[in-house]
Amino acid sequence: MNSDEGDPPREFDQLLDNSDLAEALENERFKQFLDHLPIAIAVSKLQPQERIVYANPEFLKLTDTMGPESAGRSWQALPGVSSDAEAKPLGQAIVEGSDFIGAFVMTLKDGASHTVNAWSSLIEDDEGVAVFRLVALIDPQSGSETERGDIEQQLREKDMLLRELQHRVKNNLQMITALIRLESRQVSDRKDVERFQRLAGRVESLALLYQAMTSNEQSDAIDLGTYLSHIASAAMQAQAVEGIRLVLTVDSWPVSLNIAMPAGLVVNELMTNALKYAFRDRDSGTITVKCIVDDMGCKVVVADDGVGLPPEREWPEPGKLSALIVRSLRENAHAQLKVESAPGEGTTVTIRFTKAAAEVA
């Protein structure tokens, strides 16, 4: 039998749905029913002192150091410690926890070891008083080859459905971007046009992110250098400002979604700002986008040689969406951001990520 980690096995769940379970656990015929369950079940009586009163054959098999004499003993006699760094004894976890209490490594008499998932639940009587504790253990590697094959097939089918969903989301985002840009052409007010274009750029950056996610079937990582180069190129194509050229220098750097998403949105904001404002009253200019990997991590630079920020302006501007995006970059991606600008000398924004922040879970 197999079970998703954290989800109670079906038979265990059905047991707990029995409103007369406290009474049933006193019944020998009910214990005979438990004897034939394909999962390990044991029961303790809480009063006068908590002791195991029943363990089915599957439970004795998984905990073979207990033996048939398990009845009358405490949970502390169980072998097994949690598989995490805490290494908590299984018996202690049973008494202290409830529902799914974790994965535990069991060492058997012959020295072999295996991992079990464990659940613990208190059973109350009609008066609401806890009288029994029901414990279930599942060997995640148990079950027939057919059962495991069926589960693997289900996982493959779910993976295909997820990828299809991601593909449709990407296509829908691209359609939304096209509709926003089409609608902006029907608007006469310049400020409204700019709002539409900025919104379209943000949506397109998310579409490119989905494209990056679905194209990498081997890993959950996203290549930040490739992703940012796509965003910069898409912004240049969408704005189509004559005389402005883009210089790209990018290294490959696999990162998690927590870094890629806010980084992409920030680069899109900076590209949009540069194309809209940096080269006013100029016939030419250069926007540079870099993603450079070094021993410390990665440095992303977006720079222009335009007019620079006005003395009274700062970026990001407080209260604007760009400020929220930058805050997400700092909080979720643990990035450092530096803005340098001077009238007539352009603007340079530098974002630095550490190696630790880039780790993909």
Q: Is 254 left (phi over 0), alpha (psi -120 to 50) or beta?
A: beta
For 163-213, how does the pLDDT look when each residue is reduced to its tens digit (9 = 90+)?
555 555 555 555 555 555 555 566 666 666 566 666 666 666 666 766 666
User: What is the sign of the dihedral through the CA atoms of 350, 241, 325 and 262?
Assistant: negative
Q: Give the C-alpha separation, 210 to 250, whole Å.
A: 20
**Residues 102 and 237 occupy one common structural domain:** no
- Which one is predicted more confidently, 281 or 249? 249
- Which one is predicted more confidently, 157 or 172? 157
Q: Give the C-alpha separation, 269 to 287, whole Å.
A: 13
Percent of the chain with pLDDT over 70: 65
User: What is the sign of the dihedral through the CA atoms of 326, 330, 331 and 332?
Assistant: positive
Rounded to 5°, the CA angle 332-194-181 comes to 90
Residue ending a domain, among 142, 157, 185, is 142
**Residues 35 and 111 occupy one common structural domain:** yes
- On whether the CB atoms of residues 118 and 29 are closer than 8 A, the answer is no
Of 49, 87, 75, 69, which is closest to residue 137 (Cα–Cα)? 75
- Which one is predicted more confidently, 51 or 10? 51
Amino acid at 354: T
Give 240's contacts (C-beta < 8 A, 6+ positions apart): none
**Residues 79 and 192 occupy one common structural domain:** no
**Residues 233 and 267 occupy one common structural domain:** yes
Structure tokens at 35: 């004897």
**Residues 129 and 158 occupy one common structural domain:** no
Quote the pLDDT of residue 351: 95
**Residues 218 and 331 occupy one common structural domain:** yes
**Residues 198 and 75 occupy one common structural domain:** no
Q: Is residue 127 part of a domain?
A: yes
Q: Is residue 151 part of a domain?
A: yes
- Which one is predicted more confidently, 212 or 242? 242
User: What is the sign of the dihedral through the CA atoms of 277, 316, 361 and 6?
Assistant: negative
Q: Give the C-alpha separation, 135 to 60, whole Å.
A: 13
Q: Is residue 59 part of a domain?
A: yes
Evaluate if pTM is beyond 0.85. no
Bridge partners (DSSP) listed for residue 219: none
Residue ending a domain, among 89, 108, 142, is 142
Q: Is residue 3 part of a domain?
A: no
Cα–Cα distance list, 124 to 52, 143, 200, 266, 317 (Å): 16, 32, 58, 55, 59
Quote the pLDDT of residue 19: 45
For 25-48, how does the pLDDT look when each residue is reduced to its tens digit (9 = 90+)?
566 766 676 777 777 888 888 888
Radius of gyration of the chain (CA): 30
Give how many domains the chain has, as a whole number.
2
Q: Is residue 2 part of a domain?
A: no
Of the candidate ranges 19-23, 61-65, 313-317, the one whose mean pLDDT is the lowest: 19-23
Of the candidate ranges 31-35, 91-95, 188-192, 266-270, the one whose mean pLDDT is the lowest: 188-192
Q: Give the C-alpha separation, 212 to 264, whole Å.
A: 12
Q: Is residue 118 part of a domain?
A: yes
Q: Is residue 286 part of a domain?
A: yes
**Residues 135 and 152 occupy one common structural domain:** no
Q: Give the C-alpha separation, 165 to 161, whole Å.
A: 6
- Which one is predicted more confidently, 6 or 225? 225
Which domain, by its residues, includes 55? Answer: 10-142
Q: Is residue 5 part of a domain?
A: no
- Output the domain CATH number for residue 86: 3.30.450.20
Q: Give the C-alpha separation, 74 to 51, whole Å.
A: 5
**Residues 180 and 157 occupy one common structural domain:** yes
Tell me the mean pLDDT in the region 112-130. Answer: 80
Residue ending a domain, among 142, 163, 185, is 142
Quote the pLDDT of residue 60: 84
The yes-or-no verdict on residue 87 having pLDDT over 50 is yes
- On whether the CB atoms of residues 275 and 224 are closer than 8 A, the answer is no
**Residues 37 and 125 occupy one common structural domain:** yes
For 321-349, how does the pLDDT look when each residue is reduced to its tens digit (9 = 90+)?
788 888 888 887 889 999 999 888 899 99
- How many residues are given for the chain? 361
- Output the domain CATH number for residue 206: 3.30.565.10
User: Pairing mode, if any, of strands 51-55 and 81-82?
Assistant: unpaired
